[in-house]
Amino acid sequence: MPNLLENIIKNKIRTQGTITIADYMELCLGHPQYGYYMTRDPFGAKGDFITAPEVSQMFGEMIGLWLADLWMKMGSPSEFILLECGPGRGTLMEDILRTTKGLAGFHQAKKLYLMEMSPTLKAIQKQKLNIYEPTWIDDLNALPARVPLLLVANEFLDALPIHQLVKTGQEWMEKRIELKDDAFHFVYKPVDKRLKSCVPKKIWESQTDGVFEASLILNQYIKSVDILLKKQNGVALFVDYGHPETAMGDTLQTMRSHRFVNLFDTPGHSDITAHVDFENIAMQAWADELIVHGPTTQKSFLTGLGIDVRAERLMMGADDTQKESLRSGLNRLIDTDQMGSLFKVMALCPDPNLKLEGFDESL
C-alpha cells in the first residue's frame, strides 16, 4: 500500500525545501489524517509500546493518593482543575479517580480536563471517563482562570517534537531533512537565532562534538504551565524517560511493535520520541520563580509513596495468577533495569511551603 503521509512530507520538501526534524516528527505523530497517534491505539502487547499505567493499576493508584494528599494540604479547595496532558487510553486518570473516590469532597471539587490531540484516543477516553464529565482541550489557554490546577502527564513530554543541533569542529549546524533521489536524507544547515537561544552556554561553548536536542514546543508548553501555576496555584507532575542533567546526545527513537526502527521507515506507522531534558525544565521553572521537586527516579517516587505496601495489600486477596501479575507489574514499574531508573519524576509548584511526597531522593 502506498504511504500517503510519506508522499505528503515529500511534497512539502519539494515545495518548501528542507524541513526540520521537529517538522517531520510533528507530521508523523500529529498529521490530522495520517499521524501516528491520530489513527490508532498504540499501547499494549499488540501495539508498539507499553506505558506505566498500562503495566499496572498501582501506578495510577499511587498518583491518585499523591494528588489526594496535595489537595488536602492545599486546604481542600472547593473547586480545582484536574488536568491530564496526553491521557492515552485514559487508564491513569481512571485509576486516579477510582482511588480518590472515597475522599470526601475531592470528586465534587474537581473539574476534569484532558488535553489530547488524537480523535481515536479521545474516543477511548470518552468510554472510560465520561461518567466524570471531562472537557477536552487542545490548548492550556482553554482552562478556566482563577482555579487551582493539579496537572499530571505521563509520557507526554517525550512525544513533543525536537530539533537536533550538531557540533562538528567549532561549528554548530541544525540537522534537517532533504530529498535525494526521492529518498529522505539528513542535511546540515545554519542554526537560527530562536534555536540558538535554547542551547545552554555550557553546551554551546563545549569543546566536544556531538548532538544537542532542543524542543521549542516543549519549552513553550512548560512556559504556559509555569504561568498558570504562578497565577492559579497548584502543582504539575511530569513522569517521563529522560536525563536529570542537560547533556549532549542523540536520543531520538522510533519504535514499532516493541522494536526500534529507522526514523524514515513507514512514516506515521511508528512512534517517535526523544528523552526529556529535566534540567532544562527545572531551569525554566526556576526562572519563572517556581519550586522544583526532583527529578527523582520512578522507583524512588513510587516506593516513597508506598507502592510495596499497596502491592502486598492487593496480593492478600489474590489468586496465584493475579499474584504473579501484580509482582511482575511492580517489578516492571520499579526495577532499575526496567522502568525504575530510566523514568524520572519532577513536580513544579509555586508554593515553597507545600510539602510534596515522594521526592526524598533528588538526583
Residues in touch with ligand SAH (CB under 6 A): 37, 43, 51, 53-54, 86-88, 92, 115-118, 121, 154-156, 159
CB of 160 to ligand SAH, least distance (A): 6
CB of 131 to ligand SAH, least distance (A): 20
CB of 281 to ligand SAH, least distance (A): 16
User: Quick one: 289 exposed, middle or buried, by C-beta within 10 A (0-12, 13-18, 19+)?
Assistant: exposed
CB of 38 to ligand SAH, least distance (A): 8
CB of 121 to ligand SAH, least distance (A): 5
Nearer to ligand SAH, 115 or 330 (CB): 115
Q: Which residues pair with 278 in a beta bridge?
A: none
Place of cell 475531592: 106
Phi, psi of 254 (to 5 degrees): -120, 125
Nearer to ligand SAH, 116 or 174 (CB): 116
Q: Which residues pair with 234 in a beta bridge?
A: 149
Residue of 96, 64, 52 whose CA lies nearest to 339: 52
Q: How far apart are the first and last CA of the chain?
A: 48
Residue of 46, 43, 157 whose CA lies nearest to 90: 43
CA–CA dist 13, 29 (Å, integer): 17
CB of 279 to ligand SAH, least distance (A): 22
Phi, psi of 208 (to 5 degrees): -90, 150
Nearer to ligand SAH, 113 or 156 (CB): 156
CB of 261 to ligand SAH, least distance (A): 18
Report the sign of the C-alpha dihedral through residues 117, 121, 127, 129, in that order. Answer: negative
Nearer to ligand SAH, 84 or 226 (CB): 84
The CB-side HSE value for 318 (13 A sphere, CA atoms) comes to 15
Nearer to ligand SAH, 71 or 156 (CB): 156
Nearer to ligand SAH, 6 or 158 (CB): 158
CA–CA dist 200, 177 (Å, integer): 24
Dihedral class, residue 182 (left if φ above 0, else alpha if ψ from -120 to 50, else beta)? left
Rounded to the nearest 10 degrees, the angle between the axes of helix 21-30 and helix 4-16 is 150
| Contact by Cβ (8 Å): 51, 158 | no
CB of 156 to ligand SAH, least distance (A): 5
